[in-house]
A and B are shown apart, each in its own frame.
Chain A
Amino acid sequence: MSAPANIIVLIEHLKGSIPEISYEMLGIARKIADSSGGKVFAFIAGKGARELVAGLGAADTALVMDDPSAERLNDDVIIEGLKRAMVEKEASLVFVGCTNISFGIGSRLSRRTGVPYVNWVKEIKPVDTGYLVTSAVYGGKILSDVALKDGRAILGILSGSFPPDAGKIQKQPVVEEVSKPDVKSKLAFKRLIEPKAGDIDITRMDVLVSVGRGIQTPDNIPLAEELASALGGAVSASRPVVDQGWLPLTRQVGKSGMSVAPRLYLALGISGAPEHYEGMKGSKLIVAINTDPKAPIFDFAHYGAVVDCLELIEPLKEEILKRKGAK
Chain B
Amino acid sequence: IKMAPDPVEELNVANDGKSLDSEFLRFKCGDPEEHSLEQALLLKERCGGRVTVVALDAPEVDDVLYTALAKGADSAVKINLDQTKLGSIATAYVFASYFVEKARITEDTLIMPGTQSIDDIEGEMGAILAELLELPYVGVVSGLNIEGGKAIVIKEFRSGIRGEYEVQLPAVFGIQSAEKPPRYVPVAKVRAAMKSSKIETVELSEPQKANILEIERMYKPEVAGRAQIIEGDINQVAARLAEIFAERGII
Q: Which residues of B contact A221 (CB under 8 A)?
A: none
Q: Is the CB of B121 within 8 A of A137?
A: yes
Given contacts A243-B181, A299-B225, contact A14 B166 (CB under 8 A): no
> Chain A interface: which size bin?
35 or more
Q: Is B131 an interface residue (CB 8 A)?
A: yes
Taking CB atoms, residues of chain B closer than 8 Å to A1 are: none
- Could you tell me if A117 and B123 are in contact, using CB atoms closer than 8 angstroms? yes
CB-nearest residue of chain A relative to B116? A103
* Structural contact, A307 and B244, CB atoms closer than 8 A: no
A108 and B131 contacting across the interface, CB-CB below 8 Å:
yes
Q: Are A315 and B160 in contact (CB under 8 A)?
A: no
If A116-B213, A191-B164, A240-B31 touch, whether A319 touches B137 (CB-CB below 8 Å) is no
Name the segment of B8-16, B104-112, B189-197, B202-210 touching the other chain: B8-16
Question: Does residue B239 face the partner (Cβ distance < 8 Å to A)?
Answer: yes
Chain A residue at minimal CB-CB distance from B7: A139
- Residue ID in chain A nearest B134 by CB atoms: A186
Judge if B67 is at the interface, Cβ distance under 8 Å.
no
Contact residues of A between 195 and 218, Cβ < 8 Å to B: 195, 206-207
Is chain A's binding surface mostly helix, strand, loop or mixed? mixed
Contact code string B229-251 (vs A, CB < 8 Å = 1, else 0): 11000110111011011101011
Q: By the criterion CB–CB under 8 Å, are A156 and B11 in contact?
A: no
**In the assembly, what is the distance between CA of A292 and CA of B135, in Å?**
42
Known A-B contacts A117-B123, A135-B121, A285-B248; the reply to A258 vs B224 at CB < 8 A is no
Interface-centre pick from A137, A144, A245, A299 (highest chain B CB count, 10 A): A144
Q: Which of B100-147 contact A (CB under 8 A)?
A: 115-116, 118-124, 126-128, 130-132, 135-140, 142
Q: Are B214 and A305 touching (Cβ within 8 A)?
A: no
Q: Is the Cβ of A144 less than 8 Å from the Cβ of B215? A: yes
Q: How far is the CA of A1 from the CA of B242 in the complex (A)?
A: 54
Supposing A100-B140, A287-B241, A319-B241 touch, asked if A145 and B161 sit within 8 A by C-beta, the answer is no
Give chain B residues whose Cβ lies under 8 Å from the Cβ of A31: none
Tally of A-B residue pairs with Cβ under 8 A? Answer: 261
Which of B44-52, B56-64, B69-77, B151-159 has 4 or more CB atoms under 8 Å from chain A?
Answer: B151-159
Q: How large is the interface on B (under 10, 10 to 19, 20 to 34, 35 or more residues)?
A: 35 or more
A window 51-83: CB within 8 A of B: 72, 75-76
Assess whether A207 is in contact with B250, with CB atoms less than 8 Å apart: yes
Q: Are A108 and B137 in touch, CB under 8 angstroms?
A: yes
Closest to B230 in A: A305
Query: Within 8 Å of chain B (Cβ to Cβ): is A194?
Result: yes
Bound CA–CA A118/B217 (angstroms) = 14
Bound form: Cα–Cα A82–B27 in Å? 38
Nearest CB on B from A264, distance (A): 5
Q: Are B242 and A320 in contact (CB under 8 A)?
A: yes
Question: Given contacts A252-B160, A304-B230, is CB(A316)–CB(B180) below 8 Å?
Answer: no
B201 within 8 A of A: no
Chain A residues whose CB sits within 8 angstroms of the CB of B228 once the complex forms: 302-304
B123 touches A323 (CB 8 A): no
Interface residues of A in 93-110 (CB under 8 A from B): 99-101, 103-104, 106-108, 110
Least CB distance, A260 to chain B, in whole angstroms: 10
Interfacial chain A residues near B122, Cβ < 8 Å: 107, 117-119
- A244 and chain B: residue at smallest CB distance: B181
Q: Which residues of A contact B130 (CB under 8 A)?
A: 108
- Is A271 an interface residue when CB atoms closer than 8 A count as contact? yes
- Is the Cβ of A146 less than 8 Å from the Cβ of B241? no
Decide if A256 is an interface residue (CB 8 Å cutoff). Answer: yes
Please give the distance in Å from B106's CB to the nearest CB on chain A: 15
Q: Does B167 contact A (CB under 8 A)?
A: yes
Q: How far is the CA of A15 from the CA of B163 in the complex (A)?
A: 12
A100: chain B residues at CB < 8 Å are 139-140, 155-158
Q: Are A263 and B248 in contact (CB under 8 A)?
A: yes
How would residues 97 to 137 of chain A score, 1 for a CB under 8 Å from any chain B CB and 0 otherwise? 00111011011101110001111100000000000100111
1/0 per residue A288-327: CB within 8 Å of B? 1000111011111111111110011001101110111000
- Nearest CB in chain A to that of B235: its residue: A315
Known: A136-B221, A302-B226. 11 other contacts (CB 8 A): A14-B158, A104-B123, A111-B132, A141-B11, A141-B221, A143-B219, A192-B157, A287-B244, A297-B227, A303-B244, A316-B241
- Can you list the 5 inter-chain pairs with the closest CB atoms, starting with the nearest? A107-B123, A195-B160, A104-B127, A304-B227, A319-B242
Binding site for B on A (CB under 8 A): 14-15, 19, 72, 75-76, 99-101, 103-104, 106-108, 110-112, 116-120, 132, 135-147, 156, 185-195, 206-207, 231-232, 239-240, 243-245, 249-250, 252, 255-259, 263-264, 271, 285, 287-288, 292-294, 296-308, 311-312, 315-316, 318-320, 322-324
